[in-house]
């Protein structure tokens, strides 16, 4: 190569990511408020419910336990094992390196470590979880495991609770690296076409789908607030 291989770093789509995180935290706060309202109602009407309508008492008790479980599950999803979650990826002339929030390396996949497939098939290919354009996409390849055996592995730029605005570019650049540094590996034709590897990269923009999804999430957030306000009025 006459030119130095470009370095690409993942870029977080901050408006959408913060918006989604905000919805989750709002949901947690509202659930906690409803937990307090239901608990207060049970506490002050404990004998009344047991004597006159035990069915309502046990229904509220089960609802209270479910709400507590939901709140704990959401909080754990946001905070549990935070240091092990990928928050940044860098693709360079060596391969791809994944980092956590503290900028500590979690995993590195080198071009030199890539292996040919066991069977006479494609060595590198894209796997889509759905057939639609915006389904989850991962890159499938082969590496040696700890036992020294060649096994399928995955390059995944779908970060948990984080939306990237250059995910397409990261996949494409990593595949370009394979083309340059590992020409012995066969990339599937469908992958070459999907990531336009034989020509200039396509520009990814914040299009109509993203705006529609943002509007949907906003409506969901408003709906959650409205429902919780109704629940609060029922028990106050």
Residue 101: its pLDDT value, please?
86
Per-residue pLDDT at 212:
63
Residue 205 is predicted with a pLDDT of 46
pLDDT at residue 143, as a whole number: 95
Q: DSSP for 44-69?
A: HTHHHHHHH-HHHHHHHHHHHHHHHH
The closest alpha carbon to 16, from 159, 225, 213, belongs to 213
Query: What was the pLDDT predicted at 136?
Result: 80
Residue 144 forms beta bridges with which residues? Answer: 150
Look-up: residue for tokens 């069977």? Answer: 119
pLDDT for the residue 201: 45
Blockwise average pLDDT, block size 10, the chain, 236 residues: 80 89 86 88 81 82 89 82 83 95 92 89 83 71 90 92 92 95 93 82 48 64 65 58
The pLDDT value recorded for residue 41 is 84
CATH topology of domain 88-204: PH-domain like (2.30.29)
Return the closest-CA partner of residue 144 out of 110, 99, 121, 178: 110
Sign of torsion over alpha carbons 6, 103, 157, 155: positive
Chain Cα centroid distance, residue 38 = 33
Question: Domain spans of the chain?
Answer: 14-80+211-235, 88-204
């Amino acid at each position: 190569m006459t030119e130095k291989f470009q370095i690409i770093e993942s870029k977080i789509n901050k408006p959408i990511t913060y918006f989604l995180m905000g919805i989750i935290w709002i949901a947690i706060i509202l659930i906690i408020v409803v937990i307090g309202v239901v608990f207060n109602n049970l506490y002050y009407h404990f004998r009344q419910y047991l004597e006159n309508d035990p069915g309502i008492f046990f229904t509220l008790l089960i609802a209270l336990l479910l709400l507590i479980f939901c709140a704990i599950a959401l909080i754990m999803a946001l905070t549990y094992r935070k240091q092990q979650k990928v928050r940044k990826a860098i693709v360079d002339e060596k391969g791809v390196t994944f980092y956590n929030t503290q900028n500590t390396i979690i995993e590195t996949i080198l071009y030199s470590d890539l292996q040919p497939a066991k069977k006479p098939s494609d060595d590198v290919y894209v796997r889509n979880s759905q057939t639609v354009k915006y389904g989850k996409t991962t890159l499938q390849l082969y590496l040696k495991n700890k036992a020294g055996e060649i096994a399928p592995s995955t390059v995944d730029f779908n970060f948990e609770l984080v939306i990237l605005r250059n995910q397409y570019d990261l996949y494409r650049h990593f595949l370009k690296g394979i083309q340059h540094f590992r020409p012995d590996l066969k990339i599937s034709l469908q992958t070459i076409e999907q990531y336009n590897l034989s020509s200039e990269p396509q520009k990814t923009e914040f299009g109509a789908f993203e705006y529609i999804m943002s509007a949907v999430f906003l409506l969901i957030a408003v709906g959650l607030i409205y429902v919780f306000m109704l629940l609060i009025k029922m028990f106050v």
